[in-house]
Amino acid sequence: MRADNTRHIVTAARQRAEQTRERAVKTLRRMDAAGQPVTLASLASQARVSRSWLYRQDDLRDEIERLRGHRRPQTGPPAVPGRQRASSTSLLRRLEAAADRIRRLESENQQLRDALARALGERRAAEILGQAPSRDTPNTKKPEITGPCSNSTREPASSTPSSPYPRSSKP
């Protein structure tokens, strides 16, 4: 019959568990003293223990949560010095200016919608009546053409392209 060596295995497992716990506690104290942010992941990494082991240690997990809450930075924007804060009058003026700008933009937007509706209506009417629409923009004057093309007695366009250079009969 073999000798029962289980007590040696149990003793070694207890020692390993105690060493792991001591390592985690020392690392936690060192991180706290150094002012480092304490999280389960950072403690597990620095103490060389698994996160799942840390989750099973209720007292260590509670201490980590306490330290996290204690060092938690204030949320929200940083405080602005009193001299740099906008006064309520200034904020009211800015709000009024923004509201005025919104009214102007809404009016301009409505005018553009009306112009588009007129243009589309005129185009549809021209298509129904079989007329080609004369212009894309309704109710505007045609620009006057100036320069060599401004001849009022223009010849009708021919189907062959014209060139300002004389044609030579040589091949």
User: Along the 171 residues of the chain, how does pLDDT read in single tens digits?
Assistant: 677 778 888 899 999 999 999 999 999 889 888 888 888 899 999 999 999 998 999 998 888 888 887 655 556 666 666 667 788 899 999 999 999 999 999 999 999 999 999 999 988 998 888 876 566 665 666 667 676 665 555 555 554 555 555 555 555
- The continuous run of DSSP H or E covering 132 comes out as none
What pTM was computed for the model? 0.39
Predicted pLDDT of residue 111: 96
Predicted pLDDT of residue 36: 83
Degrees (nearest 5) of the Cα angle 159, 161, 165?
Answer: 150
Predicted pLDDT of residue 25: 92
Of 40, 38, 36, 33, the residue nearest 58 (C-alpha)? 40
Q: Where are the alpha helices (DSSP H) in 57-145?
A: 58-71, 88-129
Predicted pLDDT of residue 133: 57
Predicted pLDDT of residue 100: 96
Predicted pLDDT of residue 48: 92
